[in-house]
């Protein structure tokens, strides 16, 4: 459907910003209630969900339990996971897997029994990650949801529409300002709705080396914070240990499932050096493996993922996505080790929500990577991200249905003039490159007070020079400010946040709760 030309569009039902797994699942669970889904790209091409190689974690195997899954989640989260949220999510996993199967997700099954096949990934105590063709879960799940959404009459899909700002009136989010991709001169288009769901993804595009689509740049985090939403744990950024070091942007990912199948991490001499840092070696938590590889490469060595003995030529059939990346880079993974580097992969922090996906702002919900639900804490357990997205999408839909039933049709709200006070131009390429490099250099795998101060000063300078002309870039600099300011304020190390100047963990530390105003004050003091 083409976006309307008029300046204000009254959305039927719920407005959903983002068309990845979280956004589409929310729309499907809302049906037959109406929903309008906005996507900056053709549906399915720009979402991180489609790039997920791992799978979806769920306690569906014999002998596994939701309690065991929750315990693994809590252990991986380095002390900051909300245990009630963890058990809630793992307990609802089976129902959400059944939903995905009903929508057509072709999860791998045992040929003899028909049971869903489950693999093991790092920090899981048992096999509980369900997949599609080894490393194609994200793409296959998205294809199934897209087809179902297109066939659902209550869902309106609007492509090539990007959102720059949320609309707030009387203290309530009542919609969003958007523009057509590639059209930076026209007046912004306002979508007004009774409920707004933010499902815009993470912050990968803020980093020079990331496994995520470049358009996913923390825009949802930035606009929600500017509207006044409370932000939780923004300093916790997960770096995947085995991004492929082949000089491509985005960085191709060598899925963790390879290590689950016995692949090892070696240095240039063939030594499995991860065991120097953790007895589980390659299957240690991601942050430990990432730091070990980062230090190896930083010291002048080179880390490799070695699939030759454990998988060999079967990699072409069992992990076709990774094999294709290797082939494109001139690597034969059956006979050669794969050079790897840590790459920004996931953001544990985001817009704070309660158990129903409600943010601190009335009228605004958030789910998927843009949200901080309390599930991930300081370090996400592998393959919990897709699970969190569908669990909270379903809970949001259920909560909205309950609200509508209780309140009836929401009352009209007078829209004040000049709600969007800045232009909607695209972010300048040179400024984006500078910001991404600044974040990679100083707010990456390892951090320090000096580096974070340098980052905050640089972010402020880039914002002053370029953000006045681009609301899209302001979303990026506000998201980057939240991450760097919270990292400077947390004077300890845990999970995805490691400070070389304060490497110990403070056992009394609590989750971060921060507003944009507070982050800007930290940034100003860093000057």
Q: How confident is the model at residue 425 (pLDDT cuts 50, 70, 90)?
A: low
Would you state the pLDDT for residue 471? 87
Q: What is the pLDDT at residue 412?
A: 46
Mean pLDDT of 501-510: 96
Quick one: average pLDDT of 259-280? Answer: 95
> What is residue 214's predicted lDDT score, i.e. its pLDDT?
83
Question: Known catalytic residues?
Answer: 286
pLDDT surpassing 90 at residue 463: yes
pLDDT for residue 5: 42
Cα–Cα distance between 316 and 327 in angstroms, integer?
10
Q: What percent of the chain has pLDDT over 70?
A: 91
pLDDT, greater one: 472 or 245:
245
pLDDT at 2: 42
- In this model, does residue 343 exceed pLDDT 90? yes
Higher per-residue pLDDT: 173 or 132: 173
| Overall size of the chain counted in residues | 527
pLDDT of residue 6: 44
pLDDT category at 246 given cuts 50, 70, 90 is very high
- Residues 6 or more apart from 289 whose CB is under 8 A from it? 122, 241, 242, 265, 274, 278, 282
Confidence check: pLDDT of 17 > 50: yes
pLDDT exceeds 90 at position 46: no
Q: Judging by beta carbons within 10 Å of its beta carbon (0-12, 13-18, 19+), is residue 182 exposed, middle or buried?
A: exposed
pLDDT more than 90, % of the chain: 74
Q: Is the pLDDT of residue 294 over 70?
A: yes
Tens digit of each residue's pLDDT (9 = 90 or more) over 386-422: 999 999 999 999 999 998 877 765 554 555 444 454 5
Confidence of residue 427 (pLDDT cuts 50, 70, 90): confident
Q: Mean of the per-residue pLDDT values for the chain?
A: 90
β-bridge pairing 35-38 and 8-10 = unpaired
* pLDDT of 8 over the 90 cut: no
Report whether pLDDT(136) > 70: no
Domain boundaries, the chain: 245-342
Question: 110, exposed or middle or buried, with CB in 10 Å at 0-12, 13-18, 19+?
Answer: exposed
pLDDT at 522: 98
Among 65-74, 171-180, 484-493, which is the least confidently predicted range?
A: 171-180
404 Cβ contact list (under 8 Å, min separation 6): 33, 194
Output the six-digit token pair for 128: 């509980």
Q: pLDDT category, 45, cuts 50, 70, 90?
A: low
Whether the pLDDT of residue 478 is over 80: the answer is yes
Give the pLDDT score at 363: 96
**pLDDT of 111 above 90:** no
| pLDDT tens by residue, 511-521 | 999 999 999 99
Nearest by Cα to 141 from 82, 97, 190, 94: 97
Residues 6+ apart with CB under 8 A from 272: 264, 265, 266, 281, 282
Q: From CA 389, how far away is CA 75, in angstroms rounded?
A: 20
Contact present, 515 and 231 (Cβ < 8 Å)? yes
pLDDT at residue 260 is higher than 60:
yes
Q: DSSP for 176-204, please give it.
A: EEEEETT--SSPPEEEE-SEEEE----SG
Please state, as a whole number, how many other Cβ atoms lie within 10 Å of the Cβ of residue 276: 10
Among 492, 512, 508, residue whose Cα is nearest residue 500: 492
pTM: 0.93
Q: State the Cα–Cα distance between residues 141 and 414, nearest whole angstrom.
A: 40
pLDDT tens sequence across 143-167: 999 999 999 999 999 999 989 899 9
The CATH number of the domain covering residues in 245-342? 3.90.700.10
Q: What is the mean pLDDT of residues 317-326?
A: 92
């Amino acid at each position: 459907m083409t976006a309307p030309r008029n300046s204000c569009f009254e959305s039927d039902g719920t407005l959903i910003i983002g068309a990845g797994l979280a956004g589409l699942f929310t729309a499907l669970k809302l049906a037959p209630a109406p929903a309008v889904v906005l996507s900056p790209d053709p549906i399915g091409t720009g979402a991180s969900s489609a790039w997920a190689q791992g799978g979806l974690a769920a306690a569906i195997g014999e002998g596994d339990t939701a309690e065991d899954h929750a315990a693994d989640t809590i252990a991986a989260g380095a002390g900051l996971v909300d245990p009630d949220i963890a058990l809630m999510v793992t307990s609802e996993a089976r129902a959400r897997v059944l939903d995905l199967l009903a929508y057509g997700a072709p999860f791998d099954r045992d040929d003899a029994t028909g049971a869903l096949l489950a693999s093991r990934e790092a920090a899981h105590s048992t096999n509980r990650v369900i997949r599609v063709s080894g490393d194609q879960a994200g793409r296959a799940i998205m294809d199934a949801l897209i087809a179902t959404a297109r066939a659902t009459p209550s869902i309106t899909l609007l492509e090539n529409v990007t959102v720059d700002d949320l609309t707030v009136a009387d203290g309530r989010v009542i919609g969003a300002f958007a523009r057509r991709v590639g059209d930076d001169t026209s007046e912004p288009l306002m979508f007004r709705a009774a409920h707004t769901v933010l499902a815009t993804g993470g912050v990968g595009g803020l980093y020079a080396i990331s496994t995520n689509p470049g358009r996913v740049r923390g825009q949802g985090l930035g606009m929600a914070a500017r509207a006044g939403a409370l932000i939780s744990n923004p300093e916790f950024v997960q770096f995947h240990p085995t991004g492929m070091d082949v000089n491509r942007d985005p960085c191709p990912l060598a899925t963790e499932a390879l290590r689950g199948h016995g692949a090892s991490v070696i240095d240039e001499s063939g030594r499995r050096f991860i065991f120097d840092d953790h007895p589980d070696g390659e299957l240690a938590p991601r942050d430990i493996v990432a730091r070990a590889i980062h230090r190896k490469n930083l010291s002048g060595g080179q880390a490799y993922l070695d699939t030759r003995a454990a998988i060999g030529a079967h990699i072409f059939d069992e992990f076709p996505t990774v094999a294709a990346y290797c082939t494109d880079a001139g690597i034969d993974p059956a006979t050669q080790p794969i050079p790897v580097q840590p790459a920004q992969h996931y953001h544990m922090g985001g817009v704070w929500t309660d158990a129903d996906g409600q943010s601190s702002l009335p009228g605004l919900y958030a789910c998927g990577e843009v949200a901080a639900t309390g599930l991930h804490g300081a370090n996400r357990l592998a393959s919990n991200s897709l699970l969190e997205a569908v669990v909270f999408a379903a809970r949001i839909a259920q909560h909205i249905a309950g609200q509508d039933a209780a309140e009836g049709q929401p009352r009209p709200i007078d829209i004040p003039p000049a709600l969007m006070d800045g232009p909607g131009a695209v972010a300048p390429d040179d400024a984006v490159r500078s910001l991404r490099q600044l974040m990679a250099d100083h707010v990456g795998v390892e951090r320090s007070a000096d580096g974070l101060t340098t980052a905050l000063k640089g972010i402020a300078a880039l914002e002053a020079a370029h953000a006045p002309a681009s609301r899209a870039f302001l979303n990026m600099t506000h998201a980057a400010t939240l991450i760097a300011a919270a990292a400077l304020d947390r004077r300890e190390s845990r999970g995805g946040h490691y400070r070389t100047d304060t490497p110990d963990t403070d056992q009394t530390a609590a989750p971060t709760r921060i507003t944009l105003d507070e982050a800007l004050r930290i940034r100003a003091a860093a000057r």
